[in-house]
Amino acid sequence: MTIIAIQNRLIVDRASLLPMPSIRRSRPPVPPPEPMVTATIHRQPVSVATDAQSTVCEMWRGSKAELPPSFAGDLAAAGLLRHCSFLSAERDGPLVFRRIADATVRALGTEWARQQLGKPNEDDPHSEYALQISDQYAEAIEGGEPVHNLVVLHGLPSPIVYSHMLIGWTSPEGQKALLSCVSCPSI
């Protein structure tokens, strides 16, 4: 290599440089395919719900089964919002994720949660699981009464057991909303 200094500047003779070894870029790793996640759902009496789930039910009864604009703030003030997922739908539209409970993020991962926020429940890559849960959501919304289930998720590296209290609303104009208060002590 020839280096010439002229007026305090270094000039490198490129031709004399050693050839740089070529860097072979490896392909980015292919993410593993999403597992087929299914659920076994066991209906539970509301009376055996966790404290957080029972408190959410009491708040729902306190609001006379309506969905006041203050409901999210009341849940946050009671420290319950992080336990809750929330989906809403315009009239005749699909239920869309607006909020995802911390426990659900722990179970299915931040990336899953990030891609699901703002998307319909049916677009979940764990489609089999999403369809099974959709039926429960519909029952809570149309029945107008809280639905309490024990759910076992299969298809993950290890089964996950959790419970959810589902509370649904329908506005006079046909909009729908669903709150799922999740309890998952194992994760």
| Cβ nearer to other proteins, comparing 61 with 114 | 114
Asked if residue 79 binds other proteins (CB under 8 A), the reply is no
Which residue among 35, 62, 93, 143 contacts other proteins (CB under 8 A)? 35
Number of neighbours of residue 81 by Cβ within 10 angstroms: 18
The CA distance from 25 to 35, in Å, is: 29
- Whether the CB-CB separation of 86 and 169 falls below 8 Å is answered with no
Q: How far is CA 83 from CA 100, 164, 180, in A?
A: 8, 10, 8
Count of CB atoms situated within 10 Å of the CB of 94: 14
CB 17 to other proteins: min, Å: 30
**Are residues 62 and 75 in contact, defined by beta-carbon separation less than 8 angstroms?**
no
Q: Choose which of 39, 57, 108, 147 interacts with other proteins (CB under 8 A).
A: 108
Under the binding rule (CB under 8 A), the answer on residue 21 touching other proteins is no
* Closest CB to other proteins among residues 67, 147: 67
Cβ-based nearer residue to other proteins, 19 or 33: 33
Count interface residues toward other proteins (CB under 8 A). Answer: 38
Residue 7 or 26: the one with the smaller Cβ distance to other proteins is 26
Q: How far apart are CA 176 and CA 89, in angstroms?
A: 5
Identity at 93, one-letter amino acid code = G
Among positions 148-187, residues that touch other proteins (CB under 8 A) are 156-158, 160, 169, 171-173, 175, 177
Q: Are 49 and 148 in contact (CB under 8 A)?
A: yes
If one asks whether residue 140 binds other proteins (CB under 8 A), the answer comes out as no
Which of 2, 61, 73, 119: binder of other proteins (CB under 8 A)?
73
Joined together, the tokens standing for residue 79 give 């420290």
Contacts with other proteins, residue ranges (CB under 8 A): 32, 35, 66-73, 84, 86, 88, 98-100, 102, 105-114, 117, 156-158, 160, 169, 171-173, 175, 177
